[in-house]
Amino acid sequence: MRTLIIAEHDGQHLNEQVARAVTAAQAWQQPVDVLIAAAQADALAAQAASLQGVSNVLIASDAALQHPTAEHLAEIIVPLAANYTVVLAAHSAFSKNVLPRVAALLDVNMISDVLEIVDTHTYVRGIYAGNVLATVQSSDAKQVLTVRGSKFAAAATGAAAGTQTVAVPAAPEHSRWVAEAFNKSERPPLAAAKVVVSGGRALGSAEAFKDVLAPLADKLHAAIGASRAAVDAGYAPNDLQVGQTGVVVAPELYIAVGISGAIQHAYGMKDSKVVVAINQDPEAQIFKIADYGLVADLFEAVPQLTAAL
């Protein structure tokens, strides 16, 4: 039997997490295929075909897939699943929207955000905002899951898998894409950045994100992140939220500025290699998970740090 990976992309580039999902998929020791569903699939298919460990790239190409809905993708994936015992994707807003729908149509359970694949039916995943690790086993005939990308290395490129076209049923009419608004940024994407500088409620304004945090992020070529309190207060856009409800990051360096370190925030960053916390409250929770803690007023410490770099 085979494993199918659902690839995420932006129309031009394969998401870097796909290569990580390919590594995770090797756990089943069976051929791994990658599905590209896109309006223009050729360049994307070539990128997927170059990943070491991929047997076949399935191409679902249709103009309607410029902005695919979960309903449409599920209708493409479910018939394909007859040939697969494992359907997986890297955990993201995209995959966690689509795969539960696929799993239910296949009448199997789904395992979300897998941190470790113990064996072909057994997984470790976080529950209670990552405060507990649960080992779960699924005896379903098909395994449908998402994996935490940062827990798996990216597969190397340089291979040349074959490609194959698959049928695309008409898009369901009950759901229609209307618009998308992406916060444009020259910075590296949050989920993939090597360095993340995050600001909390203490920043106090959107201006402070721009004037205090951004210069530090510039020097470090870092992505900017935020706590929920900062996002809710309108200091930062919602897609920068790190945590249980936002993005999970695992950079080489995470600098938490004026963030208290609530468990929901910690969920999103405690796998970072080195954590720095700058907070004026020596009792702040964030210091418990920081490698280096600095008790200071961020409005003094951050400009000093920026100047010293």
Ligand X SMILES: Cc1cc2nc3c(=O)[nH]c(=O)nc-3n(C[C@H](O)[C@H](O)[C@H](O)COP(=O)(O)OP(=O)(O)OC[C@H]3O[C@@H](n4cnc5c(N)ncnc54)[C@H](O)[C@@H]3O)c2cc1C
Residue 187 found at the interface with ligand X (CB under 6 A) = no
Residue 92 found at the interface with ligand X (CB under 6 A) = no
Least CB distance from residue 161 to other proteins, whole Å?
26
Residues in the chain: 309
Least CB distance from residue 56 to other proteins, whole Å?
26
Residues 87 and 144 sit within 8 Å (Cβ to Cβ): yes
Residue 281 found at the interface with ligand X (CB under 6 A) = yes
Least CB distance from residue 98 to other proteins, whole Å?
8
Q: What separation in angstroms does the CA of 307 have from each of 103, 217, 300?
A: 52, 12, 11
Contact region with ligand X (CB under 6 A), list: 13-21, 28-36, 205-213, 261-269: 261-269
Residue 262 found at the interface with ligand X (CB under 6 A) = yes
Q: What separation in angstroms does the CA of 15 have from each of 10, 39, 66, 132, 204?
A: 7, 16, 16, 29, 33
Q: What separation in angstroms does the CA of 239 have from each of 2, 139, 226, 231?
A: 35, 36, 9, 9
Q: Exposure string (b/e) for 282-293, b if CB count within 10 Å is 16 or more?
A: eebbbbebbeeb
258 binds, among ligand X, other proteins, none (CB under 5 to 8 A by kind): ligand X
Quick count: other Cβ atoms within 10 Å of Cβ 61?
17
Residue 231-250 contact track with ligand X, rule CB under 6 A, x = bound: ----------xxxxxx----
- Interface size with ligand X, residues (CB under 6 A): 27
Instruction: Return the half-sphere exposure (C-beta side, CA atoms, 13 A cut-off) of residue 212.
Output: 21
Pairwise CA distance, residues 20 & 23, whole Å: 5
148 binds, among ligand X, other proteins, none (CB under 5 to 8 A by kind): none
Nearest to ligand X of 27, 302 (CB atom): 302
174 binds, among other proteins, ligand X, none (CB under 5 to 8 A by kind): other proteins
Residue nearest to ligand X (CB): 243
Nearest to other proteins of 20, 101 (CB atom): 101
Q: Which of 191, 229, 275, 305 binds ligand X (CB under 6 A)?
A: 229
Residues 58 and 164 sit within 8 Å (Cβ to Cβ): yes
Residue 165, token pair as written in the block:
């076209």
Strands 162-165 and 223-226: unpaired
163 binds, among other proteins, ligand X, none (CB under 5 to 8 A by kind): none
Nearest to ligand X of 95, 241 (CB atom): 241
List interacting residues with ligand X (CB under 6 A). Answer: 200-202, 227-230, 241-246, 258-260, 262, 264-265, 268, 279-281, 284, 297-299
